[in-house]
Amino acid sequence: MKRATNLLLVPRRIQNLRFLSEKAAGNLAMEPGKKTTHFGFTDVDEEEKEKKVHHVFANVAKKYDLMNDAMSMGVHRLWKDYYVGGLQIPYNAKILDMAGGTGDIAFRLLRHSPTAKVTVSDINQPMLDINPSRLKWICANAEQMPFESNTYDLFTMSFGIRNCTHPQKVIAEAFRILKPGGQLAILEFSQVNAALKPIYDAYSFNVIPVLGEILASDRQSYQYLVESIRKFPNQDEFARIIREEGFERVTYENMTFGVCSIHKGTKPRK
């Protein structure tokens, strides 16, 4: 009651100013040509999302693998092992691992297929600086890849596409750079089984941001990561996007009751 009473006591002039400012903000949001997207649960201009995501991963780069272990209790390693182990990789294959970060997928790819030539690409240079090695590292935007068309046998992306402003553009670019017959394989968080959802949500929103604050001194970035999972299309919707961009034999496989899923598709040979 006290709060309601205080609101009633706000001078009418201030109330009018507040109304006008809110109206102006609404008009700005509706301004023609102004495109918005989500950054977690917050709506932002499309042009701002890339900068904000870049800032998040620049902040978490040095503690990225440690935080993955803490958040998933190490299970993310099993997901990634299974993901890479299920790939059919041709001899001397050219592989592009987009949003490759610290190279945890790329090194698994090399162990799985020692003859492969793996390029790791990420929009965030601090992530690429973590593990210099014999891998090829290129800083690039997944929505505008600086790679020639019909070049790669396999495109992989692990827990990165949900952070892109336009996931469909990433899929279109993957289609472009793959050779005919090339394979797309994406590992991403997804929609969890309904029976597990209350527990999963409680853990995600109450524990993960706290772990981020304790282990990485960054609660806000991990709050965003939790929210970004909820904004990403569910399994069927994402599979539809992949098919619409031209891929055939599109499938997905849930892991850990749908906490994450492996999506695959093949570029037609014709």
Is 156 marked within a binding site? no
Is 158 marked within a binding site? yes
Per-residue pLDDT of 88-99, as tens digits, reads 999 999 999 999
Weakest mean pLDDT among 13-22, 43-52, 198-207, 218-227: 13-22
pTM (predicted TM-score): 0.78
Segment 166-171 long-range contacts (CB within 8 Å, at least 24 positions apart): 167/232, 167/233, 167/238, 167/241, 168/241, 168/244, 168/245, 169/143, 169/144, 170/98, 170/142, 170/143, 171/241, 171/242, 171/245, 171/247
Is 4 marked within a binding site? no
Per-residue pLDDT of 101-129, as tens digits, reads 888 999 999 999 999 999 999 887 776 76
At 134 the pLDDT is 65
Alpha carbon distance 79, 150 (integer Å):
29
At 224 the pLDDT is 82
27 membership: H or E segment, kind and range: helix 12-29
8 A C-beta contact, residue 180 and residue 267? yes
Is 72 marked within a binding site? no
Assigned CATH class of 72-192+232-267: alpha beta
At 62 the pLDDT is 64
At 101 the pLDDT is 80
